[in-house]
A = this chain, B = another copy of it.
């Protein structure tokens, strides 16, 4: 243990064991696993890892840490991308994976209450027989607590919204160990400050999300997915913009450029044309889906699209979306041993074509291996910049590219992160984006976590 974490000592470990028994570990392997996410950011292992099973245990662990001024870092599935779980100041990581109970499904109200470690796939498997589903889908099989903490979204957000829109209430352990519930199960409320939305996206810096009540949706009567190639990026993006502006309630509309299509073909054994491509999904009644498809096919044809290739059988649809979700790994597989810097800007839809085309020119000029893909219906797209971490010059070039991309998006009234969050990777961009508003965030942080023990060094520096 380093000097900075001197307060993590045998006495603390004894206190933790008194709460969770042998579910505390200081082994190097376990600590290493918990100090890193899926990004290129360097690992920062915590000094100890606790595997919590109840809200009460989280509360007791936080009280022990608070009494000693020791940092607390919550850990879900470890699939974040901006160093969210890095224990920058050491301390105790609370692993929530064993808090994986689905506590209650209220089918009549279309809501569910879960422990924070339940993953989205686990939840949807549980719900399937009830004809219900939870739509938010960031690709990775993330924990729902982690998804709330990072305000995740993903492919379905264009129709169903993000975690912001689909969390009804949270049970949160505060920085002093007190437990609050942020809201009731009613669908709307004007009762005081919106604490639910404050904790959604707070990345563990204001408290630990222990339980969530989520909105559910009926599985649509009809679902239809299609893949459609375009002659160039511009015509694909134009199709997206016109589709959104037409008001068609498309469930998914995803862009993949030709480099990304190549990566997916190789990784997922597809044979799609190497062209900029849109993946669509339509949800609705049988008639409603037909109507949506007609409208979108008309728009796409006007923009010069190729043929729609349909995936109607569930197994074909699942294979298609699995391939889309594996795109990050498909990019990494293009260059074995490399890491990826996944960018995440989001701009108003009217600026999307301009932003993507300028970015593509930048990639070409800079000479990067950097497929483009994204949830373009929201104006959100990613560039997966594949880089050799051992080549400092290349890493610097990739980071400079990301910075140019962020500045481009901000100049278009966009954001530096549509869905990945700030972590510590984007902490400086947050200030560029929000200006004086960051001081308001800092004031809130200091009010709710005066010792700065909750995931310190993330979102705002104190």
Chain A residues within 8 Å of B, Cβ to Cβ: 106, 108-111, 150-153, 157, 161-162, 164-165, 174, 178-195, 197-198, 200-202, 206, 217-218, 241, 245-247, 285, 287-288, 291, 344, 346-350, 378-380, 409-410, 413-422, 426, 429-430, 433-441, 443-448, 459-460
Contact = CB atoms under 8 A, between A and B. Distances in A.
16 contacts: A108-B349, A109-B349, A151-B194, A161-B165, A181-B434, A186-B348, A187-B348, A187-B379, A187-B380, A188-B415, A189-B346, A190-B421, A191-B426, A192-B459, A193-B445, A194-B201
Contacts of A246: 218
A306 to B, nearest CB: 26
Nearest to A418: B188
Nearest to A194: B197
A18 to B, nearest CB: 25
Which 9 A/B pairs are nearest by Cβ-Cβ distance? Answer: A197-B197, A108-B350, A447-B447, A189-B415, A180-B437, A185-B413, A186-B346, A109-B348, A151-B190
Contact of A285 (B291, B350, B434): B291
A153 B380 CA distance: 28
Contact of A186 (B182, B195, B414): B414
Nearest to A181: B437
A5 B443 CA distance: 29
A153 B108 CA distance: 23
Given A194-B151, A198-B194, A188 B380 contact: yes
Contacts of A285: 291
Contact of A182 (B218, B437, B443, B445): B437
A216 to B, nearest CB: 11
Given A165-B165, A285-B291, A291-B287, A433 B184 contact: yes
Contacts of A433: 184, 191
Contact of A415 (B108, B184, B438): B184
Contacts of A111: 348
Contacts of A413: 184-186
Contacts of A434: 180-181, 191-192
B218 A180 contact: no
A108 B247 CA distance: 11
A124 B236 CA distance: 33
Identical copies of this chain, number: 2
Contacts of A185: 348, 413-414
A456 to B, nearest CB: 15
A176 to B, nearest CB: 10
A51 B205 CA distance: 40
Contacts of A200: 194
A379 B241 CA distance: 35
B186 A379 contact: yes
A285 B288 CA distance: 9
A287 B286 CA distance: 12
A186 B418 contact: yes
Contacts of A164: 188, 194, 197
Contacts of A418: 186, 188-190
Contacts of A174: 440
A420 B178 contact: no
Contact of A245 (B110, B197, B346, B443): B110
Contacts of A417: 189-191
Nearest to A165: B165
Contacts of A189: 151, 346, 415, 417-418
Contacts of A445: 193
A437 B247 contact: no
A133 to B, nearest CB: 12
A262 to B, nearest CB: 28
Contacts of A110: 245
A191 B430 contact: yes
A250 to B, nearest CB: 14
A229 B416 CA distance: 52
Contacts of A349: 108-109, 187
Among A291, A410, A445, A446, find the residue whose CB has the most chain B CB atoms closer than 10 A.
Answer: A291
Contact of A106 (B178, B348, B414, B440): B348
A218 B247 contact: yes
Nearest to A284: B288
Contact of A193 (B198, B429, B446): B198
